[in-house]
Structure 1
């Protein structure tokens, strides 16, 4: 079934270098849920997520007063780190942290720690201007 193959691919690339999560259940309800999930994903991907690439970067350039931290897994094979770097360059005042050893999932320990660290910094300082990105 295509949905199971897509799930296997997604699990393989979401956290490179880590053990893949357990395969999805094969009961009818679980398979229907996967089909629904991937139908929506396919629709968005077929339409380039309804985003104009240059339009997103142009809009980012106009955001000047919003504290922004970009946290991206260095090993992310789903959304490549080079795109986070492009957004960072277009977004005035943004701070970018590429998380070593992390892929796409925010639930990987290194990503979760980076997200929590950024939020804790923001809670104390109200911005990211002195947030460590290394």
Structure 2
């Protein structure tokens, strides 16, 4: 439980920011991320996405992983937008990258 959300001012600010950001398509041109994915070649990354995430469909990381040759896609069957197995997957991916350094 994130205690910041107990504060109604934080909730309002968060909701305002998220609504503004997404109503403006993240301030990106259409397909900008996918069209420029080749610029990530040689940079390893892990895309971790919960199948139960109702705020972001799984086709977004799926399509990015298809164009980013050095990306690893992990679709978590039991996760939504965060928490639980999502946290564990993020920690595991971070630890793998830390061992490379």
What TM-score does the superposition give when structure 1 sets the normalisation length?
0.64
- 1-side partners of 2:48 and 2:60: how far apart? 12
Counterpart in the other structure of 2:92: 117
Instruction: Select the residue among 31, 54, 57 that pairs with 1:80.
Output: 57
- 2-side partners of 1:89 and 1:124: how far apart? 26
Instruction: Select the residue among 68, 73, 80 that pairs with 1:103.
Output: 80
1:32 deviates by: 2.8
Instruction: Select the residue among 34, 37, 40 that pairs with 1:60.
Output: 37
Question: Aligned with 1:120: secondary structure?
Answer: helix
Structure whose alpha-carbon radius of gyration is higher: 1
1:87 deviates by: 0.8
What TM-score does the superposition give when structure 2 sets the normalisation length?
0.82
Gaps of 5+ in 1: 1-20, 127-134
How many residues are treated as equivalent by the alignment?
100
Question: Aligned with 1:53: secondary structure?
Answer: coil
Q: CA RMSD in A?
A: 2.3
Counterpart in the other structure of 1:32: 9
- 2-side partners of 1:123 and 1:40: how far apart? 32
